[in-house]
Structure formats: C-alpha cells, structure tokens
Amino acid sequence: MHPDDLRLYRTGYQPRPLQAELHAAFRRFNVLVCHRRFGKTVLCVNELIDQALRSRLERPRYAYVAPFYKQAKAVAWDYLKHYTQPIPKVARHETELRVDLPNGARIQLYGADNYDALRGIYLDGAVMDEYAQMPPKAWSEVIRPAIADRAGFAIFIGTPRGRNAFAELYETARDDSAWLARLYRASETGILGREELELARRQMSEEEFAQEFECSFDAAVAGAYYGKVLAEAERQGRICAVPWAPELPVTTAWDLGIDDATAIWFLQTAGAELRVIDYYEASGVGLEHYAKVLQQKPYVYGEHLLPHDVEVSELGTGRSRYATLAALGLRGRVVARQPVEDGINAVRNLLPRCLFDRTRTARGLEALRQYRRDWDESLGTFRARPRHDWASHAADAFRYLAMGLRVQQRPATRDEGRPFDPLAYGLRAAG
C-alpha cells in the first residue's frame, strides 16, 4: 500500500490549536516543556503515526521512550492502539508493545530504565517522554547514535524536575536555530479552566504547583532540603562562572563510596565568600584514581575534609582508606561524626555564602537540588531521613564540607534558625 493511500484513513485524532501548531512547526530536534494535561503524549503518539505513514524509507522504525517500561505501557500504549485502529492491516504485538503498519513501518515502546535494549537498532524518529526523569546517557549513548545514519528526528517532552539535563537541553535548544524549543504554562494556554487551576493551587504546595502547572525549573523538588536556597542563589546570580584563583588554597570535601560513587567538592575561600569551583564524581575505581585526578588539576591544596568512616579498616587488608590516601600523598582531616539533621542545617546556613561555578559543579548542584526526603504514602507525610539515591553522594560530601569548615567542631543546636554568624565558619591553616 502506498504511503499516500494510508493517509486517507483518518485516525480520529482532532488536535487542539496548540497541538496543530506544533505539528506544523516541528523540526528535526524538538524540546517541549508542557504543563500537566497539555496533551503532549497524544500529540507525540500521533506525530509518530503520521511520520510512520508518510515515510518512504525501507522498513521505517520509530520509538516512544518513557522513564520506565511499565510507564510507557501505562501512558502511551492505549493511545497507540486507539489511533492506529482505523488503519487497515495493522499488527499489534501486546507483549512487545509494538505496532506494525502495512507499509512496513514499526512503532515500539521502550523504557529508559533499560535503554541498553535499544543498542544496535536504527531509528527514524524517537519521542522521549518525561526526559527530566531519564538518565541522560539514554539519549547521548544510545538514541542519538540510533538516529544518525537515517537522519531521524527526536522530540523531548515533559514537565520540569529542577535544573537537570532537561533544563539544560531546553536552554541549549532555545539558542539553536536548528531546534524547536517551546514552553507552555497552564496559566497561558487556556487548556485548563481558571477554577480548576485555583483548586489545584489550593490543594498543592507552592513548589508543586509551580513545577507541574507553571513549568518552573527553579521550583524546589517536593521534599528537597536545599531547593529554595539554591533557587535563591540562582536568582541572585551566585550560580555563574567562578574563576579559579591560583593564589588561594583549595579545600576538598569527600564522600567515599565503596559500592557507590565517591564525590569530591573543591572550594576556595576569599574573605566571607566561599567559591565552589569544581566537583568530581566517579564509581568503580580505586583511591589511586582520585589521587591522580587531584594531581592533574592545577590547584594548590589546603585541607582534604574526609568522612568519619575513612578510618575504618577494610576487610582483607586491615588497612584504613585514610592510610591509603595518606600513602598517596593526600593527608586529610577527618570530620567528626554528627547527626545528619545537624549537617543539613549546617549546609543550609553555608549555602547563602557560596558561589558555584555553573559548568564545573553542574552535576553536584543538581544532586543538591534533588536531595530530598521520601514521601510516606501510608502516613501522608515525608519521612524524617533523607532518601538514598544518586544525589546522596554529592549531598553527603557537601555536608562534610559544611561541618568541616567550622572552627569549633560542635553539634548544631536546635536553634540553628537564628541569623547566620559568619565568624562560626572558616578554614584552618593548611598543613
């Protein structure tokens, strides 16, 4: 069947005005930041169907990717089946979440939680839904190469989740004429009525509403410890280009992982100003790797602030990681163990004095934004302890930095909400 003949079969899709505008405006690369209930999934499923029907390539292949495979099935599979129903001789494969069209085109659903499943295939187009919740490598290492040889298209859609890879992609796309970048706020589109929005505003936190309906990249993640203070830093211009000053010593603060990642912050102090100039993180390598990384940087080091568990002897060798680091030329000061809550308060007090280099500390900053408490569904409240995930390593290292910079090592008191006293912080002399 000829592709032009296939287009005669109406799918029943009636795009809203903004959806129709987007269909006409799409380019090869597209980033759409959309409020909840905008209709972005329906929009993109139908764009895939239309592209697949019009393709004159041999065996066209298209992918719809969600953060999780189960999510792809729950969100998009019913739409894909529904809108391909009127097309004759369509084969639907429920177990593979795949639709084969009569012209040989195929549309399949995937999950970014197993993006390796896409390695080795080619694609003529891909939709990445809720990209803010995906590992960026799913795009850079797998999907981008898959669309290269046939010049396939890509559409990134979602709502913000802080200033992560999705925010960076949107900002980059805005400055690139080859990309289409659009942001749709609920207060501007008219898709949701004013009464519905006001009801949602009353029933949600300020941060949740700003994120989900007003598409704010700076709204704090629900339960985040440092979201508001980092948003304030962004507004004040303290997340910027921070030059390295060769005449000032560099302090490092570490969180040492065994099976997890090791995170290292790099900081210089200039009077009352704390300049966070660098961040490094890796996993699956020995301490020799980190010593080499530090040696290759141009910095002159003052102190290395290390977590309390660095002094624990390792099984098999009987040697502590503190001793191993010392043998590698990195003599550090161990930060005394303190309650996690006290360390979090210390970070909150320290952050208003910090300048962050936007580029070199980007991953560490995003981890601080995402560091949060888990929500307890049964109790309807946040749990007291921080969530342990990829963001924990950078957050723990920064916590050791905040505690280690205190001149007097003392437990934080419960009245830490009082005005911050800059004299309570400072760097010890190197050596």
For position 409, what pLDDT does the model report? 36
Are 280 and 368 members of one domain?
Answer: yes
Last residue of a domain, one of 171, 194, 212: 212
Q: Are 96 and 26 within one domain?
A: yes
pLDDT for 4: 52
State the residue range of the domain holding 34. 3-212
**Same domain for 394 and 266:** yes
CATH assignment at residue 104: 3.40.50.300
Q: Both 252 and 287 in a single domain?
A: yes
Residues of the chain with pLDDT under 70: 1-10, 220, 259, 314-317, 375-382, 406-431
Question: What pTM does this model have?
Answer: 0.60
Task: Write down the pLDDT at residue 413.
Answer: 37
Is 405 found in the same domain as 263? yes
Side by side, the strands of the sheet bearing 354-357 are 239-240, 354-357, 273-282, 262-270, 250-255, 301-306, 333-334
- In a domain? residue 157: yes
Residue 277 resides in a domain: yes
CATH assignment of the domain containing 408: 3.30.420.280
Q: What is the pLDDT of residue 378?
A: 61
* Residue 148 shares a structural domain with residue 37: yes
pLDDT given for residue 426 in this prediction: 34
Do 54 and 180 belong to one domain? yes
Q: Is 160 domain-assigned?
A: yes
Distances from the Cα of 61 to the Cαs of 50, 98, 157, 201, 370, in angstroms? 13, 11, 20, 41, 35
Same-domain pairing of 264 and 202: no
* pLDDT score recorded for residue 414: 34
Looking at the fold, whether 309 and 384 belong to one and the same domain comes out as yes
pLDDT of residue 8: 47
Q: Which of 160, 219, 213 is nearest to 189 (CA)?
A: 213
- Based on the fold, state whether residues 91 and 176 are members of the same structural domain: yes
Residue 431 lies in a domain: no
Same domain, yes or no: 261 and 168: no
Number of domains forming the structure of the chain: 2
What pLDDT, on the 0 to 100 scale, is given for residue 114? 87
Helix (H) or strand (E) holding 189: helix 186-189
Do 279 and 186 sit in the same domain of this protein? Answer: no
- pLDDT in the model for residue 106: 97
pLDDT digits (tens, 9 = 90+) for 263-275: 999 999 998 899 9
Whether residue 232 lies inside any domain: the answer is: no
